[in-house]
Each structure stands twice: as C-alpha cells, then as structure tokens.
Amino acid sequence: MFHNFQPSVVGLSEIPGKGHWFDGVVDDDRLQRFIQRHLQTSQKPQLPKRFSLMTMNPASTGSRGGLRILSLEVVFQLSRIRVERDYPERGTWKISTENVRRFRYQAIHGIAQRPDRFLIDASSHAIAVPSAVYEEDKEHIDFCVSLIDEKLPDTRSVIWSVCSDSDLWETERSTERGPDTSGPSARVLSSRKVLVVFPEGDVKLRDFAVFYSNSLYIRGISAQVTTDSSVSVGQLQSSDDANVVLLGGPSVNRMARKYYMDGLSADVTFSPNGFCISSLKCFQRPGTGIAFLSAGPRRTLLFYVAGTDDAGLDAALTYLPYGPASEVPEWIVVSKTSGFGFKGLGGVLGLGYWDYKWKLEVRRSYPAEFLFDVKKSGVTCTSRRRTNPLHSLPVLTIALIIVGVVLGIAFSLRRKLRFGHHYKHLPNALVQVGQNTGSGVDRSQGN
C-alpha cells in the first residue's frame, strides 16, 4: 500500500481504555465503513491470463475470479477448474473442469476482467452471462453438468447448461448437497449453535450430553443440551438454523424419530433389530453402533448416534466429533467385539462418505466386512451363517505338519547332493596328503 503511495487506504483508530483484544474490535462502525468503502471502490488486482481453483470440499474454499465450485461428482476427491481468459476472443472464458458437478459465477466489484460468455469443457456452444449478474448485488449464475453415459465414467460425454433449479437447490426442498451441507462429520459443529438432544428420562445419556456440551464449550463451541420432548421440531428449525446432535436412534429418541420419518437420515434405514446402510448392508449383532451425518431442515446438519443395544450406542458415542480434527468421515459403524477400543480406526466395521444426493458413495467408503445382508425387496435384516475360524484349526495343524516334513526332506536331499561328491573322494585325498608329507595313511587318519 505504501509502495503504491496510497495513504488513503491506511487508517488508524484507537479506542481508549481497551486492551489488545475486545468485543467489537473488528466490527465497530468506523472500521466497517472503512472496509466497505475500499471493498466497493478499490481496484482489485488484475486477474492473470490463466488461473485455476481447486478443492476437495466446497465448504472449505471460496471463489477465485468470481468462480466457485459448489458440488463435486465424487465427494472428497480433488476437483479443479482451469480458466483461460479471452479465448478464443475477448470476453470469452474457456473453462476446463475435473470432478465438478456444479459451479457458480458471481461478479466481484473492482475486477475489470469480466466474462461475457463461457466455453466449458471444449464445448462449441458458448453460454452467455446474463446482464443481471453485473447489475444487481448478489446476483449469480449457476452451471450444472448433465451426464450422457454414466456407464462409461472414463469416456462419457458431458453437457453443461445454466441450472434450472438455481433458486431452489439451496432450499429445504432440495436433496442435493452444497457447501453448507458438505462434510465431514465435524461440520455439524460449524453452526453458531449446536443442539444436543437426548431421550427424556435417560439419565445415562443426559449425563453424557452434559459432558459432551462442556467438552465443546472448552473448545469454543456453543452447545445447548435439551430433551427430545422439551422442544418441538418447529422451534429447532427456527433456532438460528442450529445443527443438531441426536443421542439415541429413532427407537428411543423422539426427535430422531421425527427427523427419520421426514426422510432426513441420509442413506441409513432403521429396523427393530438393527440398521442398514443403503438398504444393502445391514447390521443387527449385539454391541454394534453407528454414527453418521445427515441433512437437516433448512440446509442444516444432523448427526445421529445409535446402536443395536446400549453397548452398541456406547461404542458409537466414542466417535462423536469434538472439533475439526475429528477422525470420522461422514458415517462409521463400530462394534464392541471388533476391537475398536484398542485398534482405533483399524477395528471399525465400515466407514466412508455420502455422495452429492446423500446416498452411499461406494468409491469413497470402506466396508471392511459387513456381517449381514438384506433382501432387495425390503429393509428387514437377515443374518448370514459365517464359518468359525476355530473349526478349521485341526486341518490347519495337519497342513503345517505336512509342510514341515516336506521342507525337512528337501533340505536333507539338498545337503546330500551338495557334499556327497567330496565325501566319496576323501580317502584318496588323505593318501595323497600322506605321501607328500612322508606319513602313512594310518598316521594321517590318527591325526
């Protein structure tokens, strides 16, 4: 700033009686007027001829040159947009995308280089930018991709167009995820207020909810503890768009049951004897628990913690997020019998992410070993007989003995073949040595 000899962009404001840091240090009226004046009038740095933006999570990145990635084709996999300005003519931006489903252009005040049209992914058809984008504040244009042949992901053709649901996809009526509803699980703690809901009358979960809330408070996260009957869903929806942590599944937590019946449970279905993921992988063994992120009303997030029994619920509570460094992606299944207590993430039964429609993303999930299958006609979990590895112990012992005997014979034959020739000529060699030294064979043998 001083290098450009622009002293007007530097100001000094000192408030008497205040310390180094205080409430209002960055949002008092004088500072806000200074910031707004220069954001609206100052000339931004010129955009380069070519630039790019990339992300693995739209929730953690902003825009570049007015462009922002909103939705990925494969979640939590690197996505990229490459831009070449004024190609092949002035005002045309050539855009190449990788792993992008939806992106947005919103004009930025102070940037002179603005596009009139976009050429996306080598398309011969240019998409014009509406004039309203530059005339009205906060006006934007969203671009969506259409897949021609999803069976050939490596060679498929793509067509880009202006999104027809540009005004709807970020509302509560939309099922597609965006930056506000991107994972991982720790994103449930990103709202201004977090509600921790436990079943009324459950003393154990009440105590845990208080402990969890206090743990979040220490980390600077505001969390409010409430029972599943003390507040209605309508009040939750209007409570500063708070994210909700649900302790206990739909069978014990009335608030979880309400959200579940409204279809807000990602790709998880619950049954009286267990739960299923994607209606294809089911769990019903005692001591099995699940913790997962789900869409909530009004673009909020929910985090369910449930189990097949109390032991399974206790196991799942271990993987509640306590901050941004949480190890849980977007869903995790654990069991008291899987050794997760001492194996860490190596002892989980499965974990992974949901796709952009809140369905199981197989390409970004790790189903280690699902213990139960489900009939395709419904969601009732059915068990599958598994072989006990201890039953095959006698066969394994016999096989090891046979392998040992074979190896012993092989080493004996190898030794005999290697040294047998030298043993055969040993007497003649001793006689020769005796003659050369003037000693007899008997003396040499005696020595």
Integer CA distances (angstroms), 431 to 142, 424, 442, 446, in order: 101, 13, 9, 13
Whether cis (ω within 30° of 0) applies to the bond prior to 88 is yes
- pLDDT value of residue 426: 47
Predicted local distance difference test score (pLDDT) of residue 7: 62
pLDDT bin (cut points 50, 70, 90) of residue 225 is: very high
pTM score of the predicted model: 0.71
pLDDT band per the 50, 70, 90 thresholds, residue 378? very low
Cβ atoms of residues 55 and 79 within 8 Å: yes
Q: Which residue has the higher pLDDT, 271 or 340?
A: 271
Give residue 369's pLDDT band: very low, low, confident or very high (50, 70, 90): very low
If one compares 389 and 236, the residue with the highest pLDDT of the two is 236
What pLDDT, on a 0 to 100 scale, did the predictor assign at position 402? 86
- What integer pLDDT is reported at residue 96 of this predicted model? 93
Interatomic CA distance for residues 65 and 149, integer angstroms? 31
Q: DSSP of 117-136, one letter per residue?
A: EEEETT-SSPEEPPTHHHHS
Domain ranges of the chain: 50-162, 183-383
What pLDDT shows up at residue 145? 84
Number of neighbours of residue 44 by Cβ within 10 angstroms: 13
Instruction: Give mean pLDDT, residues 60-82.
Output: 92
Tracing tokens 């930025």 back to the chain, one arrives at: 108
Prior bond to 427 cis, omega within 30? no
Query: Two tokens at 68?
Result: 């922002």
Q: What is the pLDDT of residues 89-114, one digit of tens each?
A: 888 999 999 999 999 999 887 777 88
What lies within 8 Å, CB to CB, of 186 at 6+ separation is 321, 323, 324, 325, 326, 328
Rounded distance between C-alpha atoms, residue 110 and residue 209, angstroms:
48
Q: What pLDDT was estimated at residue 163?
A: 86
Number of CB atoms found within 10 A of residue 121's CB: 15
